[in-house]
Amino acid sequence: MEKKELPAGLDKAVTGFERYLTGERARSEHTVRAYLSDLSSLLAYAAGEGITDPAGLELGTLRRWLGSQSEAGASRSTLARRAATARTFTSWALREELIETDPSLRLQAPKRDGSLPGVLQQQQLARLLADLNEAAKDGDPMALRNRAMVELLYATGVRVGELAGLDVDDLDPDRRTLRVLGKGNKERTVPYGLPAALAVDDWLRRGRGKLAAADSGPALFLGARGRRVDQRQVRSVVKGLFEALGDTSATGPHSLRHTAATHLLDGGADLRAVQEILGHSSLATTQIYTHVSVDRLRRSYQQAHPRA
């Protein structure tokens, strides 16, 4: 990643922090890029105040930096993320003895927006899958692939990066389970249902071989040129499907993850089981979906109860 030109002391700290994220923390390339973008913004602001190394960072600098971001129109969720980046960096810098005290301990940022994630209703999901089934009838390999990807995204709640990284031998068709390599290189096993199993099997039997090329390797899902499908392609497919529905707040593959979690809880699944399926390290992260379910329950009550 190209960094803004910084004083040598700050630039050296960025390099060390990047090694920490990719090595010790095993963060994904996308996550590292986001951290470094936020950090470069902070340190460029600090350099503008005459700070040349991390030891010069003070709480006031961090607050003024966030204030400048707010004045520039950054959302509450963006400000919260950037404050979290600052805390992660200064905590690391303290451990590395680049600073004597952590200036971010009293740093406060706006809470993230409380909006609930967009999810598909059962009827919307049924329409989407019906369209995918219709498109796959003639055996077009891309249509077979798209149906299998969407069925698997919904069946397992995997992240789009996890889906793109799947290999054929990550599937256990007999047990209908999937081996997933998640954040921090943590491996988990996720079950999937019969519709997803049939869609994936159809893709492997009738579709994948038509797209496979010499450099396909073991990738489960392939692009038009035979290489492993990338996240951008998956997002484009799902975005187009949601736009075709026309009546949903869902926007991309992550909405299928939200939908899977919400429907599991609506169906009575245990919260900790959903945590394990989604690969959340903290139960608190999973609990947002209980709010989604309660919101759906409240709407149903208001629509159906005579005295609502």
- Cα separation, 288 vs 90, in Å, equals 28
Catalytic residue among 27, 82, 145, 159: 159
The active-site residue, picked from 33, 76, 112, 183, is: 183
* 187-191 and 177-181 beta bridge pairing: antiparallel
Residue tagged active-site, from 27, 257, 258, 263: 257
CA 239: distance to chain centroid? 15
254, with CB counted inside 10 A (0-12, 13-18, 19+), is middle
Q: Which of 20, 35, 154, 289 is catalytic?
A: 289
Question: What is the 3-state secondary structure of the chain?
Answer: CCCCCCCHHHHHHHHHHHHHHHHHCCCCHHHHHHHHHHHHHHHHHHHHCCCCCHHHCCHHHHHHHHHHHHHCCCCHHHHHHHHHHHHHHHHHHHHCCCCCCCCCCCCCCCCCCCCCCCCCCHHHHHHHHHHHHHHHCCCCHHHHHHHHHHHHHHHHCCCHHHHHCCEHHHEECCCCEEEEECHHHCEEEEECCHHHHHHHHHHHHHHHHHHCCCCCCCECCECCCCCECCHHHHHHHHHHHHHHHCCCCCCCHHHHHHHHHHHHHHCCCCHHHHHHHHCCCCHHHHCHHHHHHHHHHHHHHHHHCCCC
User: Is position 263 annotated as part of the catalytic site?
Assistant: no
- Of 87, 127, 254, 296, the catalytic one is 254
Closest CA to 278 of 151, 155, 166, 106: 155
Please say if 289 is a catalytic residue.
Answer: yes
Known catalytic membership, residue 183: yes
257 part of the active site: yes
**Residue 213, CA distances (Å) to 171, 222, 237 in order:** 21, 9, 21
Active site residues: 159, 183, 254, 257, 280, 289
